A = this chain, B = another copy of it.
Amino acid sequence: MKQDNRKQTAEHTAMAEAAIGVLDTHFLKALSDPTRVKILKRLILMGASDVGTIAAGLSQDRSVISRHLNTLEQARITTSRKIGRRVFYDIDGPYVVEKVSVILEALGPMAELCTPFDSPQFNSLQAEPSKDGAAA
C-alpha cells in the first residue's frame, strides 16, 4: 500500500527551513569555546570590564583574551567601548537572549515532529493506524 509513513510534508518543510535558518553557526561557534565561556562568566560577575581586568583571572595571555573578545564581538555577544587607552567589553544580554529565544521558537515544533523513529516502519506493531484517526 505504501502509505506515507511520515506525516511530514508542508509542516516539516516549513519547520526545516525555519529551524536551519536560525541555526547561526557563527553565533553557536562563538559559544563553543571553554575560554570564551569563562570570559562570559567573568563579564556577568564583574560587569563591563577592560581587557586587562578580564585577562587577570584567566590563564591565557592578554592577547589571546583580546582575540577571543573580538570573536565574541563579531558574534554580537559582546560590545566594546573605548575609554581612554582602555577598551571595555560587556555582554549584550538582550541580544543573546533574543537570539536563543528565536532559536527555541523555531526548534519548538521539533519536540513533536521529530520524535525519533516514530514512523510505523520502526515499530513492529504498525498495521493500519485507522480506528480512532487522530488519537493522542
Contact = CB atoms under 8 A, between A and B. Distances in A.
A128 interface: no
A94 B115 contact: yes
Given A90-B116, A112-B93, A15 B44 contact: yes
A53 interface: no
Copies of the chain in the assembly = 2
Contact of A37 (B13, B25, B92, B107): B25
Nearest to A26: B32
Interface in A1-20: 5-6, 8, 12-13, 15-16, 19-20
Given A91-B114, A111-B97, A8 B104 contact: no
A84 interface: no
Contacts of A104: 97, 100-101, 104
